[in-house]
Structures are given as structure tokens and as C-alpha cells.
Amino acid sequence: MVSRGPITVLIVDDEPEVCATYEMYFEGERFRTRVAEGGPEALLKADDDVDIVLLDRRMPEVSGDEVLAFIRDWNLDCRVIMVTAVNPDASIIEMEFDSYLTKPVSKSELLDTVKQQILFGRYQTLFERYQTETRKHALLAAQEGVDDDELRELTQRREKLRERLEHTVDAFENEKVKETLAELHQQN
């Protein structure tokens, strides 16, 4: 999900003042921003370079819900944060967003949520790599004639990934999130 360079945030809202406000929130931070004033423009600007999408739900022409569906259908590897005046209800059950904020949102609330989603993205990537290394290790360990040095190297790579996972978990500020993620990767 998250690029190694500056994080690219796509701000999608049909109200230019809201877009400008959110864009100001990111000034002085290590983020690049793109602005899409509405759904049609969002569909043009959403691509593989986008790491985070801030998405309003109620927009004319193409709603935020539709933009979200397109993003997921296109398999764009980005985190989507709904930032909307629409209170969550049963309609969100089928929506594949990563976080949901109800307007108005403060600068700190928005930036904290973006930073948490970046951490979730990093955790997810590391966890997937760790699972892959664990499967490889199990397959090779079950085979006869596997070089001990190769198995030891794989074990070391796996342990480095485990350490990185633990470090990423420690970066979360929410204790409940830390506990849940720690339990998850200890089970594997």
C-alpha cells in the first residue's frame, strides 16, 4: 500500500472549501496531496500512486460510495477514509472503506486517522510477507535433504519480519489495536 517516498493523499469532496481546508491540514507534513472536486474528477485522479483517499459520500453525479466501489473494483492498493456528514448506518455494511469520520473533523483527528491508516497498511504488508515466509519455512522444514544453511537463512528472515511487525504494532497509539494486532501475529 504505502509508497517509500512521500505519502500521496487524494482529497475528494464536491465542496472546494472543504478540499482547500483538508489540503491546508497537510501543509508542513510529509504528504503530497491531490484534490478532486467531485466523483468524476476522483475517478480520473485515483491511480496506483495514491496511498490514502479522503472521500466524501454525498456528491452529485458520482457519489462517494460509487467512487469507493470503483477504487476497489480497480484493485487500487490504497487506504480509503470516508470523511462525510453522513452518519454511519446499515448502508455501510457492504462498503469496503478502512476508516470512517463524520464531519466536521479537526486537523488532528484527520491527520491522526491518516497516520493510523498508514500504520495499518504497513502492518498488513509486513504480515503478508511474514505469512509467506512462514509457509516457505514449514514446506522446507518438512522436506528431507534441505540445506540447513538455507533453512537457517529463511528462519532469520522470518524473525526479522516478526521484529518489524512487533515494532509496527508498538507504533500504534490505541492500546486495544496494539493488543489485537499482537495477538494476531503471535498466533502465526
Q: Tens digits of per-residue pLDDT, 124-158? A: 888 888 888 888 888 877 777 777 788 888 888 88
pTM for this predicted structure: 0.78
Q: Tens digits of per-residue pLDDT, 73-100? A: 999 989 999 999 888 878 788 889 999 9
Scanning the structure block, which residue is given the C-alpha cell 466501489? 69
CA distance 162 to 179: 15
Cβ atoms of 72 and 55 within 8 Å: the answer is no
3-state helix, strand, coil in the chain (%, to 5): 55, 15, 30
